[in-house]
Amino acid sequence: MKDFAGKIAVITGGGTGMGRELARQLVAEGCNVAMCDVSEAAMAETKRLCETEKLPQGLRVTTHVADVAIEDHLKRFRDELAEQQKTDRIHLLFNNAGIGGGGSLFTNTREQWERTFNICWGGVYLGVRTFLPMLVAADEAHIVNTASVNGFWASIGMGQAHTAYSSAKFAVKGFTEALINDLRLHAPHVKCSVVMPGHIGTSIVSNSRKVQSADGSERLNPDEVALTRKRMVAAGVPDADKMSDEDIQAVFAERARSFLEDAPTTAAQAAKIILDGVKAERWRILVGDDARRLDERVRATPEQAYDRAFYESFTQEVGWRLG
């Protein structure tokens, strides 16, 4: 697929971050976009940004409220876009929606763990299941599943467990690799790619908190404050046990700000890398210099990948301030 003009793209998690930037860049190339998200307000802003420059006549940008972990929501999304986009086929499927959280089997609840896993993995699986007939109906099509560097390295540092997100992203990577031959055998005109971003400037930290808590607030609740303090103590943060609740709130707010604003790769840069990868029909798309370097290191010394020395030398090399 060398260009996107006149095509129809489906994007999950289109309200913010890479999903928003994918929508903007696709529309700029003359591609129709149907996006879903749990936040109607966030999608409205994405649509407004897409329409800043007047859309060509007939180009459609539609928004649909859906939780990708719930199959009936995705089926409703499919049916709505078929009606509103006036189509029985799509050309591009970006399974982009994701959240963090549920890192530990010990300190997080089962509900938190499974919420993260069911969005980050289940949303990809159900997205492909739901939209595959519409992809097959097109003359050419491409599935783009967003994994992460945590799909080949299950860590964000020594001081914090990261099991739910990493498990989901490993599943996305394996699923997409398995799809390569499945599609060749049964729908050779449909291609697929797995996207593995490093640290991208998005609002995933604050958005994940909102989705996990279901209260829409950017402030931690008392249980989250206590858990954050415990993690900081375990990570060796000086005097973390003496910090007030408001101090902990400030630490969380700064982490969310830094993740968004201080990342080595912006969401717009990431979207361009992804779209260029689709045009080049690359099945494996690493996003960011940090992702490429981490991939090289894990492949070179897999047995040392979870040692403290590996993490500390890597973060020093690429400038990560995570974990």
- pLDDT tens digit sequence for 136-189: 999 999 999 999 999 999 999 888 899 999 999 999 999 999 999 999 999 999
Look at the alpha carbons of 269, 270, 271, 272 in this order and tell me if their dihedral is positive or negative. positive
With a cut of 90, say whether residue 104 has pLDDT above it.
yes
Place of tokens 């990570």: 235
Q: Exposed (0-12), middle (13-18) or buried (19+): which is 12, by Cβ within 10 Å?
A: buried
With a cut of 50, say whether residue 323 has pLDDT above it.
no
pLDDT for the residue numbered 48: 96
What average pLDDT does the chain have?
Answer: 91
DSSP H helical segments within the chain, as ranges? Answer: 17-28, 40-50, 71-84, 110-117, 123-136, 163-186, 204-213, 222-234, 245-261, 267-279, 289-300, 308-318
Can you read off the two tokens belonging to residue 69?
């972990």
Can you read off the two tokens belonging to residue 174?
């394996």
- Taking the domain 8-201+265-318, which CATH number applies? 3.40.50.720
Closest CA to 165 of 197, 126, 128: 197
Q: For residue 36, give Cα distances in angstroms to 77, 92, 191, 256, 312.
A: 7, 14, 22, 23, 38
Element at 192 (helix H, strand E): strand 190-197
Mean pLDDT of 317-321: 79
pTM of the shown model: 0.89
CA gap 149, 291 in Å, rounded:
6
Tell me the pLDDT tens digit for each residue of 194-239: 999 999 977 666 666 667 666 667 788 888 788 778 777 776 788 8
User: In this structure, are residues 27 and 50 in contact, taking their beta carbons and an 8 Å threshold?
Assistant: yes
Instruction: Name the packing angle between helices 110-117 and 163-186 (round to 10°).
Output: 30
Instruction: Give me the phi and psi of 89, to 5 degrees please.
Output: -150, 155
SS3 5: coil
Q: Which amino acid type is present at position 210?
A: K
In percent, the amount of the chain with pLDDT more than 70 equals 93
CA gap 197, 94 in Å, rounded:
14
Domain ranges in the chain are 8-201+265-318, 203-262
